[in-house]
Structure formats: C-alpha cells, structure tokens
C-alpha cells in the first residue's frame, strides 16, 4: 500500500509517466527537479518495486509501474469527476475561470471581449492559456475551450457561434497597385511548419503553392500573420484578424477549403456552473455579433 499521502505521491508518478522526464514533470507540477526525484523514489520504496526505467530518451514505466499507473489514473478520474460535479453546483460568478484557446484568438480577437466581460463581472479572474493542442477539460486543466475546428471533441459540449474564414493576404507595402499584384506566382509565400500538416490550411497550401515558393515557415498562425505584415510573403490568414487592418491587402475571396467553425466548449459536468455559464453566454453573444468580420464579409477597401 502507498503511504498516508496516497494521491499526492501518485501525482508525481502520473506526471513523469505523461511527460517522460523529471524536468518536464517538475515544470507541470510547479516544483523543482529534485522534488520529483525524491517523491518518485519514496513511492518506489513504499511499494517495494522499481516503477521507472531510466533510458537515454527519458523515463519509461516498468511492469510494476504500469500497474501503479493504472491505479493512479483511476484515482485521478474519480477525483476530477467528483470535483466537476461539486464545481457544477457553484452558481456564484467569482473566483477564477481557466480558458484555453489558440494564439490568434488570444492576441487579436478575445482581449476586447474579455475586457467587456470583466467590466460586468469584476470578481471573476479569467486565466487565458494559448495552446495549439487542446488542454484537457476532463482533467480540469481548463474550464472552457474556444477552438477553431470542424471536429470538436466528442467528450465536450458546446456550440459553434461563427464560421472562421481564411483568405490570401499580403502586406500592402509588398503588393503595390495594379492587377499584377494579385498574381500568386509573382510573390514568395509564408507557410506553416509540419506541426500543422493535419489542418485544412496546410492541406490547401500543399495543393496550391509550390514548395519552392515558400521562403519562410512558422509554427503558429499568429507568427504567420506577423510575417505577412512584415512583407516576408503572401499567406493564408484569418479574415477576422486582418480585414480591418490597413497593413494587409486581401487577394481574392475567402478560401472555402480552409474554413473552420468557432466553437465554445466545456465539460458536461461544468456547463451549469455559474461562472462557466456566464462566460459562455457572453462570448456566444459577442462572437456571434462579429460573424460578418470572422466570416470574411467586412473586407477593407484596397
């Protein structure tokens, strides 16, 4: 049996198993490297078995570690389910709310709406976390997710509040005037790296733009926006971010193959929590009112 601090001990095992190293686990847990090593060692001594093999590529669970890992995961699931159920009864709009979304929404779309939301609910702190990979709402890493996707996770509930259109843009200073400015072949391109290969944006680029034309690649859509702004090349950008910015010039209509939906999502057990409900309702209204912009119908005159 694990000692008196059962769950606290097992948290360290889960973190190392998930992230593959002591240092990565330490960052996630907010402790130092030596604390993780000490707690894992203490757990191994308490269990009388080695739980991890230290390999050149990191830490790997042993057979005994796999057994303990299954126990730890079950405990985590039970605790988080209980926490969600209890939290879901909370109707007060105060405390903190954890929201995960992508970088373009964090930088260009959500700040003005969160400012308006906070004026109505000043006792609620919003913790906004930008991450291309979704944080887990099941494990309460976040309470709400705002995602641009056509396939929201099946284990979450929510609604699509708008489309999110993409079109080809260049910097106004790069394109100049005249019909030749809209010739794709006359300009270099900015692309996304291989971490986006699963997206509609990357698939359209591969079908449309020769690899030899791409002179610069980035690993975020926000980085893509700023590279195009600087005149590095053309790029496929979200209309809702750049259509009202005179630094950009759109070439043609939105690209249907790159369209996504903007989803507001939460976990079933949290949907009736006061602060979650208040935030979702406010953002649904705010983003719905911006549909013309987000869906590419507010084009700035060239």
Note the pLDDT tens digit of each residue in 110-125.
999 999 999 999 999 9
Q: Which residue has the higher pLDDT, 179 or 109?
A: 109
Residue 299 has pLDDT above 70, yes or no: no
CA angle 116, 117, 120 (to 5 degrees): 95
Q: What is the pLDDT of residue 81?
A: 64
Q: Is the pLDDT of residue 5 over 50?
A: no
Query: Do 78 and 261 contact (CB within 8 A), yes or no?
Result: no
Sign of CA dihedral 221, 112, 142, 37: positive
Residue 178 CB coordination number (10 Å): 8
So what's the pLDDT on residue 30?
A: 81
Binning pLDDT at 50, 70 and 90, where does residue 4 land? very low
Q: What is the mean pLDDT of residues 143-152?
A: 90
Highest mean predicted confidence (pLDDT) among 81-95, 122-136, 144-158, 282-296: 282-296
Percent of the chain with pLDDT over 90: 49
Strands (E), the chain: 52-55, 58-61, 95-101, 124-130, 144-149, 156-164, 166-171, 189-192, 214-218, 235-238, 248-251, 260-267
In this predicted structure, the answer to whether residue 133 has a pLDDT above a threshold of 60 is no
pLDDT of residue 250: 92
At residue 2 the predicted structure's pLDDT band, cuts being 50, 70 and 90, is very low
With 0-12 CB in 10 A as exposed, 13-18 as middle and 19+ as buried, what is 183? Answer: exposed
> Model confidence over 246-263: pLDDT tens digits?
999 999 899 999 999 999
Digit-coded pLDDT (tens) for 14-71: 889 988 889 888 888 888 888 889 889 988 888 889 999 988 888 999 999 898 888 8
User: What are the structural domains, with CATH classification, of the chain?
Assistant: 6-88 (1.10.10.10), 95-164+260-294 (3.40.190.10), 166-258 (3.40.190.10)
Average pLDDT of 289-300? 86
Q: Which pLDDT does position 140 carry in this prediction?
A: 58
């Amino acid at each position: 049996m694990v000692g008196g601090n059962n769950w606290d001990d097992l948290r360290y095992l889960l973190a190392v198993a998930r992230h593959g190293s002591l240092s990565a686990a330490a960052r996630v847990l907010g402790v130092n490297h030596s604390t993780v090593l000490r707690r894992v060692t203490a757990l191994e001594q308490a269990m009388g078995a080695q739980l991890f093999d230290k390999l050149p590529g990191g830490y790997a669970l042993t057979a005994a570690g796999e057994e303990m890992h299954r126990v730890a995961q079950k405990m985590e699931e039970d605790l988080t389910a209980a926490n969600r159920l209890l939290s879901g009864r909370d109707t007060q709009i105060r405390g903190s709310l954890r929201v995960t979304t992508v970088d373009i929404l964090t930088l260009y779309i959500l700040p003005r709406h969160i400012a308006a939301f906070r004026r109505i609910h000043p006792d609620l702190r919003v913790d906004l976390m930008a991450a291309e990979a979704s944080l887990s709402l099941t494990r309460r890493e976040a309470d709400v997710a705002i995602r641009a996707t056509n396939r929201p996770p099946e284990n979450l509930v929510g609604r699509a509040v708008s489309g999110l259109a993409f079109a080809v843009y260049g910097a106004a200073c790069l394109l100049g005037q005249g019909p030749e400015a809209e010739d794709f072949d006359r300009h270099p391109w900015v692309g996304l790296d291989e971490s986006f290969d699963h997206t509609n944006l990357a698939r359209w680029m591969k079908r449309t733009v020769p690899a030899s034309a791409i002179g610069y690649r980035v690993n975020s859509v926000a980085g893509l926006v700023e590279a195009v702004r600087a005149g590095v090349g053309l790029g496929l950008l979200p209309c809702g971010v750049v259509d009202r910015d005179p630094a950009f010039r759109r070439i043609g209509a939105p690209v249907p193959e790159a369209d996504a939906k903007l989803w507001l999502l939460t976990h079933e057990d949290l949907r009736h929590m006061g602060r979650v409900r208040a935030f979702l309702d406010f953002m649904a209204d705010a983003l719905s009112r911006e549909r013309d912009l987000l869906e590419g119908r507010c084009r700035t005159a060239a």
